[in-house]
Amino acid sequence: SYRFVNTDQKNQLKNNDRSIATLEGKNLLLDNANVNDKFSGNMWKYQKGKSDYYSKIMLKEKYAKHLGLKMTAQPDNSLDNQFGLIRNAEDVRIRDSGYSVHAFNTLISQRIGNHRGLPDTRNKLCRIQKYTEKLPKTSVIICFFNEHYQTLMRSVHSILDRTDMKYLKEIILVDDYSDIDGLHDAVQKSVNELNNRMRKEEEMIETNNIDVENVVDYINDDNNVVDKKTTERNKDVLSIRLLKTSKREGLIRARLYGAENSVGEVLVFLDSHIEVNIDWLPPLLARLAEGVDKETRFSHRAVTPVIDVINADTFEYTASPLVRGGFNWGLHFKWDNLPKGTLKTDEDFVKPIKSPTMAGGLFAIYREYFNYIGKYDEGMHVWGGENLEISFRIWMCGGSLELIPCSRVGHVFRKRRPYGAGDKVDFMLHNSMRMARVWMDDYVNKVIEQYPSAANLDLGDLTSRHNLRKSLNCKSFKWYLENIYPELETGENEVVKKRIAALNDVEKNKFQPWHSRKRNYTDSYQIRLKNTSLCIQSEKDVKTKGGGLVLGSCIRILNQMWFETSRFELVLGRTLCLDASNNVAPKLSKCHELGGSQEWKHKGSAGSPIYNTAAGMCLGVDRAGRGEPLIMVICDNQPTNQWDFIRS
Ligand code: LR7
Ligand code: MN
């Protein structure tokens, strides 16, 4: 029998040498397993023969269930355990080059690795929903162009870790002709290893005999386990497949390619920088299965999960509110508040919610319905527009589009797309106009009002899409606006217009997607450089946006008084937030309430570092002196980056 000891007991186990795992014979028994996979606290030491082994223990949820265990993750804010902590110039290089290629913090993503626990962001009622066992099998399709390797692999692992295999037929990765050196081969290698491992796991589960050695091997990601005994079994088993397009197709045609090569009854499209949350799949499948037509054996539906936010700077996972998809006449997708009264009872928080449009990246649909309803428009390039096209098409041709609140998938929301908008053609406009010409009838003129140049764009051949609309006998866009999206301002109906204006008045300030409504301030304090009488103050007054910070003699004036909020913001004079978004020098910005560059962590005690979550660096100065500017420095506990907090 082995004994697992946590290597970071100060964070994990108050009771020092407590054995949390015993391995006996062929069964893995864990008690009080407190698996914290986000921090170094999940390194466990065990003895095998005469040597000590260190392993990252990450039991898959399916094992945990099998063993009757509950897995929890507890956040740990100590500086050493911050994933983004910059330790040297190399870290800075990784982070900065990551931003330029991928537009998110690859340093953090790298350090998180293949697995982590996520907060269960669902409504409590979701935990007791029951879904029938007999659900269709799924092909998950993930297209990627130059995705960050670790982020892509964690997307895949999150699916393997949190999906009941009986609902998964295959995971299809479509490499859209990426040109990052070595990316394709690295993904191929991992896919092969995963397939090998899965064959082994199936055996274990099947024989109800969870082999300790294998589980340990599996969970120790640093060990390259290659299974030599693996035999191909003639069984209906899950496989991961990596396909590659023969030229850069763009995400729309890449998805078509994936779909053509799939065999599952249901298709689930996902982006390549996502993490699925607990029990994400059954609610989607159950809703699709509910409406199945006996003859065609598919339902006329597409369903989407709630898209939670993975912060691009910090990879923090946070819940999104229930909102639905809309759009504006510029044909940009937007989130709308739910119509008033949608969420009245508790049950309303788990019931499907009709949505006029979808964001595009994450949805489930019967494969045969996807084909029947016209797949995607092959004439669309690279990025954009396909989400409104499929949304309008589904609604206008007799189907429906729904948001499923009990299904949650996190997505990395970036501030920019790391591939251009298109040099010669603006892809989004080209794609949107192809859509508008086929589906929007005379309302296309409203779009052209927004983009006069779009009137004469060469859109290529639209015949087959026009024919599709005819053959499916679809309703008019006017019908769609009146029945599915009456909230959209058409400029025609004064009654509707007034109603929306009134609605917006009431709803304004009350509910902003992604944002908290209320600020909770702690008492204010001054922040003094250790061993000095110098405090942090704004260079200009407390209301000047973009203003820098300097050291000044500590006197209790307004521009030295910092308020801290429950979101770890430092707000000067209750006005502007301390912001490290340029990674070099902090400045005062409008509070955005998104954490990251405005999230500061410290111990609150004398001589504490003040760490910024997005920058991975600490607040400091080059040297002590009046007028000395504040800069972001590596957290090395020098007196120039240690601070005292002076409360009145
Ligand atoms: O040429 C390309 N080839 C690709 O395979 C360009 C992109 N891709 C891949 C890419 O690697 C990624 O996995 O396609 C996927 C989507 O591209 P993103 O992540 O750059 O798109 P996005 O998340 O910014 O944009 C949203 O709108 C797009 C419109 O074309 C797609 O429908 C995306 O899937 C969609 N993403 C979401 O719906 C997630 C929630 C975002 C919101 C709101
Ligand atoms: Mn995306």
Three-class DSSP labels, 130-181:
CCCCCCCCEEEEEEECCCCHHHHHHHHHHHHHHCCHHHEEEEEEEECCCCCC
Q: What is the pLDDT of residue 205?
A: 56
Q: What is the pLDDT of residue 495?
A: 61
Q: Are the CB atoms for 311 and 411 separated by under 8 Å?
A: no
Gap from CA of 18 to ligand 1 centroid (Å): 46
Q: Is the CB of 270 under 6 A from ligand 1?
A: no
Query: 10 Å Cβ neighbour count for 552?
Result: 18
Q: Where among 27, 47, 73 does a domain terminate?
A: 73
Q: Is the CB of 136 under 6 A from ligand 1?
A: no
Q: What is the pLDDT of residue 490?
A: 58
Query: 10 Å Cβ neighbour count for 131?
Result: 17
- The tokens describing 271, both together, are 């982006």
Ranges of the chain whose pLDDT falls below 70: 1-77, 81, 201-236, 421-422, 490-519
ipTM, 2 decimals? Answer: 0.98
Helix and strand numbers, DSSP H then E, in the chain: 16, 30
DSSP letters, 294-341, are TTT---SEEEEEEEEEEETTT--EEPPP--EEEE-TT--EEEEPPPTT
The C-alpha atoms of residue 288 and residue 308 are separated, in whole angstroms, by 21
Query: 10 Å Cβ neighbour count for 580?
Result: 28
Instruction: Note whether residue 593 is domain-resident.
Output: yes
Q: What is the pLDDT of residue 256?
A: 98
Q: Where among 25, 43, 73 does a domain terminate?
A: 73
Question: Relative to the CA of 271, which ligand 1 atom is closest?
Answer: 13
Instruction: Give, in degrees to the nearest 5, the angle at Cα 280 between 566 and 518.
Output: 20
Q: What is the pLDDT of residue 115?
A: 76
User: What CATH number is given to the structural domain containing 573?
Assistant: 2.80.10.50
Instruction: Note whether residue 584 is domain-resident.
Output: yes
The C-alpha atoms of residue 378 and residue 252 are separated, in whole angstroms, by 7
Q: Is the CB of 410 under 6 A from ligand 1?
A: no
The C-alpha atoms of residue 297 and residue 322 are separated, in whole angstroms, by 30
What is the DSSP code (8-state) at residue 114?
S
Gap from CA of 97 to ligand 1 centroid (Å): 21
DSSP letters, 570-633, are EEETTTEEEE-TTSSS-EEE------GGG-EE--SSTTB--EETTT--EEE-SS--TTPBPEEE
Instruction: Note whether residue 268 is domain-resident.
Output: no
Instruction: Note whether residue 474 is domain-resident.
Output: no
Instruction: Note whether residue 37 is domain-resident.
Output: yes
Question: Relative to the CA of 333, which ligand 1 atom is closest?
Answer: 43
The C-alpha atoms of residue 72 and residue 319 are separated, in whole angstroms, by 17
Q: What is the pLDDT of residue 236?
A: 61
Instruction: Note whether residue 231 is domain-resident.
Output: no
Q: What is the pLDDT of residue 501?
A: 63
Out of 310, 383, 417, mutate this one to test ligand 1's pocket (max ligand atoms within 8 Å of CB): namely 383
Domain coverage including residue 560: 525-647
The C-alpha atoms of residue 421 and residue 435 are separated, in whole angstroms, by 18
Q: How many domains, in total, are found in the chain?
A: 2
Q: Where among 27, 43, 73 does a domain terminate?
A: 73
Q: Are the CB atoms for 176 and 143 separated by under 8 Å?
A: yes
Instruction: Note whether residue 249 is domain-resident.
Output: no
Q: Is the CB of 307 under 6 A from ligand 1?
A: yes
What is the DSSP code (8-state) at residue 548?
B
The C-alpha atoms of residue 274 and residue 281 are separated, in whole angstroms, by 14
Question: Relative to the CA of 361, which ligand 1 atom is closest?
Answer: 34
Gap from CA of 360 to ligand 2 centroid (Å): 9
Query: 10 Å Cβ neighbour count for 434?
Result: 23
The C-alpha atoms of residue 570 and residue 485 are separated, in whole angstroms, by 41
Instruction: Note whether residue 16 is domain-resident.
Output: yes
Closest-CA residue to 287 (of 298, 271, 276) = 298
DSSP letters, 517-538, are S---B---EEEEETTSSEEEEE
